[in-house]
C-alpha cells in the first residue's frame, strides 16, 4: 500500500517484550492515542504473549476493537499456553501476517 494510503490516524503497536514496564507503557500509549481521537492496532508476539496473564488484561483487551487486537498463535503455543486467553476471541489468535497488515495500514508504528 503506498504511503499516502496508510491511515495516519492509526498507530500500529508491535509488542515483543513481556516486562511489566512494557505493559504500563502499552496501556498508557493506547489510552493517550484513543483520548486524542485516534486508533490503535496491536499485535503481541514472541515473549509478550505472557502479558495475557496480567490481572487487568481482560479489561484492557475490551478497550480495543476485536479486529484491531491480536496475538500470535504460534508464539502463544510455543510459550506453553493453549486455548484462548480470557478477554480475547478465537478470531484474535492470528499469524505473523497480521503484523504485516499493521505495517501496511497504519500511518505510524512503534515496537515495544
What is the residue extent of each domain of the chain?
Answer: 3-111
Q: Which residues have a Cβ under 8 Å from the Cβ of 98 and sit 6 or more positions away? A: 43, 70, 72
Strand partners, 76: none
pLDDT digits (tens, 9 = 90+) for 66-102: 999 999 999 999 999 999 999 999 999 999 999 999 9
Query: 57-79 b/e with 16+ CB inside 10 Å = b?
Result: beebbeebeeebbbbbbebbeee
Give just the sign of the alpha carbon dihedral 62, 63, 65, 67. negative
* Domain 3-111: homologous superfamily in CATH: DsrEFH-like (3.40.1260.10)
Residue 1: pLDDT over 60: no
Instruction: State pTM to two decimals.
Output: 0.94
Amino acid at each position: 500500500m503506498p504511503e499516502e494510503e496508510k491511515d495516519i490516524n492509526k498507530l500500529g503497536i508491535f509488542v515483543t517484550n513481556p516486562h511489566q514496564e512494557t505493559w504500563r507503557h502499552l496501556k498508557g500509549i493506547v489510552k493517550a492515542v484513543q483520548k486524542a481521537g485516534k486508533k490503535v492496532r496491536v499485535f503481541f508476539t514472541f515473549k509478550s504473549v505472557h502479558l495475557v496473564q496480567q490481572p487487568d488484561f481482560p479489561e484492557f483487551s475490551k478497550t480495543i476493537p476485536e479486529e484491531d487486537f491480536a496475538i500470535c498463535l504460534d508464539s502463544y503455543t510455543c510459550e506453553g499456553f493453549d486455548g484462548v486467553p480470557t478477554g480475547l476471541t478465537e478470531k484474535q489468535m492470528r499469524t505473523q501476517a497480521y503484523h504485516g497488515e499493521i505495517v501496511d495500514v497504519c500511518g505510524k508504528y512503534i515496537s515495544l
